[in-house]
Structure 1
């Protein structure tokens, strides 16, 4: 039996016997709806994954949706942790850039103004900056991951899928919550939440705050200090105004601060570092090789402490008006981002390359939709969106032992789109859906070396039509089969770090997705959802980190064609009143079909040992796997409640298993197969106000990447935190 088949058998053997013991359905999953759209009746789960209220089991889209309790049970405290609980999702980081990948589709470029192709939303507001989407989860109601192209309804740049973070809505009843957590490495976290009415039944408000810090777990062997430090603060305020039964207005504000050097505190994988072949002039202190090139896990060696600091501000407003027979909804948002980075690109005490940059970003979103009610055989929606943004590195300073260069560069984006979709029940229980989106995008790039002040600019626009077609047959309550065809589109982009990149853009990415799926509840308490899919993926935007005139630069190319075949399954079961089990499986075949002229980094050998990389090309990487696409993943979770000391004692355990995956196109650098096991025990008092818990994370002490970036200087990888434990106490009312 193959390893994949064995994993399937193990996952199903855990859950299938539970069918005989199931007592009743449990509503624990939601999808891309605002809290006010959530409704449950007799165990039915109502979602708005298609921008209207529908049963989750009737939505013909692959969805993983996690409530706040499910996130806590799986040990998911940040967006990057979503990997552990979502089949087919790998949330990767490249230096300060967050790049989630779903089913092998994800961003491979991190140039200024290049938005990810897995679109992330906070309360329905699009987040264009790659640096802002990796954040602590604060005041979260739930998170929904929609898999496959979502461009027709959720916008451009959603070729891989969409992730919607939904936070709690202000309540007209006074509620509150506070918690304190302490763990290994002096990890400390505090949360607070308060919500209640200002004017009875008319005006309500909420305030949420989260702060954390730890002292780090990565040892800098040169400075003899700790790195891998994280600090964060998130403050969110909301106002809800309900002037009548048909009108609702919400205003939200967010401040997000982080200071982090986990991914900047890397080490050269297998010793592949340019510091290994340093000249005497580059190594005036005659540092030995074991100081220049650290090889033990959780070590780094740098002459200065690197970091990335981020300040994000977001204000968004939402209006919903029930017109009778249809709902008119509008959204507008403004966001601003300020980042500062200090990094040692060669990750060595020789400081062969230091890069500092100040990043400034600003974005505006506007959206309006008109959605019919669900009465009758025909339902429909129409909408339009607008988007404007600007990201500028002002300046990027690159320092080597012999030269210093300063560059101002960036990119502006403008986009407008219109979309429509209709679903018709042709005969009883047979539903036909058709949708279309028209997109217009414009990008403008800017490059100015401060040594010469010569300004180079580029400008390009693109148009796209993205259709969607679905046929769905409902063969029982909560059970249906479906087949869908969807196209996705990611706008073209410039790489303004070089003159050529400022003038010549990469073409848009496009994807054709075919999917067949089944969603069924074969017995009370049992839910089984499965899907098989095939993607035709063209003009992939791929990047290579290199150096041009001693300055870090990114080469941007289009890979002609890739294909992805896959299968996913989610199973959940309520075994007894207190015991719940769940599992998720993802199988992928993510192949580059045609890319014969790739530019890649290959090791320079000195004495038979890797000593940094050189850029070579053209190289044929056809037949290789796409990056960040493990061929299999499996997650299993268990939750058990029992009475104890007058209250409730809850045992949680979750395990995530992943096959190997690659981080660059030649498939030379890989993350080996690994697993992550988390567990906790929590007690809630009889009055349900107090709670206490102890938890353990990464119990098998696995070494898996927090970040990976391949440059001419090194194969730079950093690892997630090793095994650690903590305790938490909270009070709610």
Structure 2
């Protein structure tokens, strides 16, 4: 990796030298030819009303007004985040076009414009990357850990192959926390709701040294009882318990030098459950109701199979099964329809605990018309995940535990500023990423252990039988169960082992990149942008696979290493049609590194690539009464990384290719004729389809062509609507009424689109989610009270759905039911 670092350092130095003369020659003051949209948007309207789209974003590593940024980006400021109670992607998906949130037992899987990920554990990076205060957050299980005390959130749609550390093909979400302030301020908020929900959060900021050092400290604690009642043990699951704290120090050392130190720590304990949706038609006949296949069938059914059992054997069984006779895995129950019932049957209690903490230091040095910025960060993340993998009370699969940890170091350097007499804005940067990740997974499969015991005891094959089964049983069961499933010899059952499968990986990832991005003003209205990035990724992994029911020849302990180097970039034009309207077009290339399957000995998967072609339109019109933004895109997606579930294991493969195209819109209306009224929303339409490729389905009973199928979690329609009215109550303050509704059309959760045998349950039908809020702010704006109802119609929908032969079922994780509550907040001083 030292060669990577040397080459990148040399590239940064050479580029900096080329630009240094231009930087020195650039003049101070406002940028000549600056966009009129940007200049106007920075000013409030008469009467103090903020101009639509005036939020300042840093999506391109420089400050610019949202409406002047020539790319598809959604942004939310503090006021909007608090009003909608947005803490992360689970709530963002109802305000951002084409964003889909999915989660399975703690692993978050996000999609933007149909480009998403169903990867888990250490295998690969997120397709939609997350950043906190400019620091890359690399683990899937950390992406949904709630954020708070935010200044804003920015959601960038499209491949990020130039400016952002760790390339991503789908997009990026930036969480920017609030900075310390020199004026004293404090805030406190308490939320209480159904299911025993209680949230308390507060913060304080102020000067530690006048005009030199300021500090900020915020804490949050949240707990909630479970949404779902387990009929197996009488307890409630799907609960939440979170404690989070973050602090920051701001040092203004000189007028030109600023240092920001940040620290954060979060511990979250949840009990997310997998729920049974449908049985798979496996050749073994295994289901939650018949966990040992034919061995679970009652004797009267076995009697209907000619020549299987003798009359004497049937008499020994009575009305029971072979499993009953030996006291092996009993039949399970699966509960009701997960979309209609909150009752579950889980024989193993789920619990997922996440510990996340980090330190970062940001140094900003103003050197005239350029700013040198360094972000150095270290983050540690741990996950302890336990769950019932089959979603029923049958003892088919329990994860106990899956432990994952990550120690991540990142360093990014950027030089941004002006050159060529103010005609060129540029960002020159270098990025380094070093991650050490550990995965240890222990899976217990009692039913498989019992099958092995019946079809050939691994512990004591010479143990005397409990009774003498007739000879015809041996060849028939050998044909039905042993040969195709276990590939072993049928013995009389002896001591029954619990089937175990353990795997692990110690993976080291290093990545380094240099990049350059610039915008050149060809005229007062026309600008050209271009960027290029070179990235080298290197991964090394030590993998282990152990089991007591898999032949020893299939087990392994191996070392694997692989590296990739890619050039990505972007280019485009944007043009001001007027002071309020801009059009743009751009082409960009995204890339995401390959990796290793942790539960396999030698398998690897390749990088995925995406070419994006996008045209957009941004406008504020009707004298600041309306905002309308639209973007159309065409994607050429290749070597797509996706997860397959075949032969009792999951593994990541590369699909051939796919094509996507679509349209997105965002709008805000504030008609002067109806003072206090606002209508807002967004929407997306996407067409997506895989190219031809033949794949085995999880039941191993069919080879299917996925050509023409829609991509995973790429709904054709996503529509978000909002309406609010603010009434002035004079001395009593103001009252705000807000309603929100979001529609998501049919979602496919696997590449087969539910067409594989018995797997229609992997489809989530279209659904609506609606919320309502009433906010009262007294004349003294220090206080606020909000009543809210979320998911008014009690719509239950699937976050994820998976078909697996190991669980003999389609299982899924489902959304929260209707919730309601009250939020009381107080802000003093600069926090107001």
On whether the aligned pair clears a TM of 0.5, the verdict is yes
Residues 1:651 and 2:664 aligned together:
no
Aligned to 2:31: none
Task: Trace 1:371-382 onto structure 2 (pairs within 5 A).
Answer: 371-373=416-418, 376-382=422-428
Over aligned residue pairs, what C-alpha RMSD do you find?
2.3
Report how far residue 339 of structure 1 moved.
Answer: 1.3
CA contact (8 A) 1:386 1:416 kept: yes
The yes-or-no answer on 1:268 pairing with 2:266 is no
Gaps (5+ residues) in structure 1?
Answer: 1-24, 30-39, 602-613
- Aligned equivalent of 1:699: 792
- Is the CA contact 1:181–1:190 (under 8 Å) kept in the aligned structure 2? yes
The answer for the alignment partner of 1:663 in structure 2 is 749
**2:57–2:75: 8 Å Cα contact kept in structure 1?**
no
| Bigger share in strand | 1
Question: 2:366 matched to 1:322?
Answer: yes
Task: Give the deviation of 1:344 after TM superposition.
Answer: 1.4
Residue 397 of structure 1 deviates from its aligned partner by: 4.3
Aligned residue number for residue 306 of structure 1? 350
1:413 to 491, 504, 509: 509
The residue that corresponds to 1:16 in the other structure is none
User: Structure 1 462/556 Cα, relative in aligned 2: closer, same or farther at 3 Å?
Assistant: same
Alpha-carbon distance in structure 1 between the residues aligned to 2:342 and 2:78: 31
Equivalent in the alignment of 1:338? 382
1:317-367 deviations in whole A, cap 9, x for unaligned? 101000001100001111111211111111222221111222121111100
Distance 2:199 2:279 in 1: 35
Distance 1:238 1:161, change over 3 A: same
Match of 1:189 in 2: 199
Deviations 1:78-100 (A, max 9, x none): 33111111111001112221111
Partners of 1:145 and 1:482 in 2: how far apart? 18
Give the direction of change, closer, same or farther, for the CA distance of 1:649–1:282 in structure 2 (3 Å limit).
farther
**Secondary structure at the residue paired with 1:71?**
helix
Report if the CA contact (8 A) 2:276-2:334 is conserved: no
Q: Does 1:731 align with 2:826?
A: yes
Say whether the 8 Å CA contact 2:545–2:600 is kept in structure 1. no
Q: Distance in 1 between matches of 2:51 and 2:345?
A: 58
Which secondary structure state, in structure 1, belongs to the residue aligned with residue 780 of structure 2? coil
After superposition, residues 346-495 of structure 1 pair within 5 angstroms as 346-355=390-399, 356-373=401-418, 376-401=422-447, 402=449, 403-449=499-545, 455-495=557-597
Describe the shift of the 1:127–1:318 C-alpha distance in structure 2 as closer, same or farther (beyond 3 A). same
Q: Which deviates more from structure 2 when the two are superposed, residues 369-378 or residues 560-569? A: 369-378
Give, in whole Å, the separation in 2 of the partners of 1:442 and 1:569.
39
Residues 1:590 and 2:702 aligned together: no
Over residues 259-284 of structure 1, what are the superposed CA-to-partner deviations in whole Å (9 max), with x where a residue is unaligned?
1122x242324898820332336675
Decide which moves more: 574-583 or 315-324: 574-583
Counterpart in 2 of 1:171? 181
Contact between 1:204 and 1:241, CA under 8 Å: does it hold in 2?
Answer: yes
Change (3 A) 1:600 1:43: closer
Query: Is the partner of 2:93 in helix, strand or coil?
Result: helix
Q: Which residue of 1 aligns with 2:705?
A: 620
Tell me whether 1:532 sits opposite 2:600 in the alignment.
no
Deviation of the 1:228 alpha carbon: 1.2
Q: 1:114 to 1:456 in 2, by over 3 A?
A: same
Rounded Cα–Cα distance in structure 2 between residues aligned with 1:79 and 1:427: 39
Partners of 1:244 and 1:324 lie apart in 2 by 14
Which residue is 2:802 aligned to? 709
Match of 2:644 among 544, 562, 566: 544
Check if 1:559 corresponds to 2:568: no
Given the alignment, which residue of 578, 603, 613 partners 1:514?
613
**Rg larger in 1 or in 2?**
2
SS at match of 1:588: strand
Cα distance in 1 between the residues matched to 2:821 and 2:360? 36
CA contact (8 A) 1:28 1:67 kept: no
The reply to whether residue 156 of structure 1 matches residue 166 of structure 2 is yes
Contact 2:683 2:720 in 1 (8 A): yes
Q: Which moved more, 1:42-51 or 1:673-682?
A: 42-51
CA contact (8 A) 1:94 1:709 kept: no
One of 60, 68, 71 as aligned partner of 1:50: 60
Taking the aligned partners of 2:561 and 2:233, their CA distance within structure 1 comes to 46
SS at match of 1:84: coil
Per-residue deviation, 1:423: 1.3
CA–CA separation in structure 2 for the residues paired with 1:444 and 1:726: 49
Query: Aligned equivalents of 2:51 and 2:389: distance in 1?
Result: 55
Structure 1 distance, partners of 2:777, 2:188, is 14
Equivalent in 85, 88, 102 of residue 98 of structure 2 = 88
C-alpha distance in structure 1 between counterparts of 2:107 and 2:372, whole Å: 36
* C-alpha distance 585-319 of structure 1, shift in aligned 2 (>3 A): same
Quote the Cα distance in structure 2 between the aligned partners of 1:282 and 1:435. 65
> Does 2:290 correspond to 1:277?
yes
Pick aligned residue for 1:719 from 814, 817, 821: 814
Counterpart contact for 2:536–2:565, Cα < 8 Å: yes
> How far off its partner does 1:316 sit?
0.9
Q: 1:28–1:302: structure 2 CA closer, same or farther, 3 Å change rule?
A: farther
Distance of 1:145 and 1:636 partners within structure 2: 18
Shift of the alpha carbon at 1:73? Answer: 3.5
The CA distance in 1 between the partners of 2:393 and 2:571, in whole Å, is 56
8 A Cα contact 2:796 2:817, kept in partner: yes
Report the CA distance shift for 1:41/1:649 in structure 2 as closer, same or farther (over 3 A): closer
Answer yes or no: is the 8 Å Cα contact 1:111–1:554 preserved in 2. no
Paired with 1:330 and 1:471, the residues of 2 have a C-alpha distance of 29
Q: Deviations over 1:239-266 (max 9, x none)?
A: 111111111101111111111122x242
Q: CA deviation at 1:449?
A: 3.6
Change beyond 3 A, Cα 1:205–1:617: farther
Number of residue pairs matched? 677
Aligned counterpart, 1:13: none
Quick check: 399-408 or 172-181, which moved more? 399-408
1:52-131 alignment runs, 5 A limit: 52-131=62-141
CA contact (8 A) 2:105 2:274 kept: no
Change (3 A) 1:473 1:78: closer
Q: 2:678 aligns with which of 556, 576, 580?
A: 580
3-state DSSP class of the match of 1:131?
helix
Match of 2:213 among 203, 221, 237: 203
Q: Which moved more, 1:516-525 or 1:403-412?
A: 403-412
- Indicate conservation of the 8 Å contact 2:556/2:601, yes or no: no
Cα–Cα, structure 1 residues 722 and 44, in superposed 2: closer, same or farther, change >3 Å? closer
Q: What is the DSSP-based 3-state SS (H/G/I as helix, E as strand, rest coil) of the residue aligned with 1:642?
A: strand
Shift of 1:285: 8.4
Which of 604, 618, 622 is matched with 1:523 structurally? 622
1:692 CA drift (Å): 1.5
In 2: Cα distance, 1:524 partner to 1:710 partner: 53
Q: Could you tell me how far 1:421 is from its partner in structure 2?
A: 1.2
8 Å CA contact 2:291–2:330 kept in 1: the answer is: no
Q: Cα distance, 1:597 vs. partner?
A: 2.8
Q: 1:664 to 1:305 in 2, by over 3 A?
A: same
How much has 1:191 moved relative to structure 2? 0.8
Per the alignment, in what secondary structure is the counterpart of residue 85 of structure 1?
A: coil
Secondary structure, counterpart of 2:602 in structure 1: helix
Aligned CA distance change for structure 1 residues 26 and 226 (closer, same or farther; 3 Å)? farther
Q: TM-score, normalised by structure 1?
A: 0.88
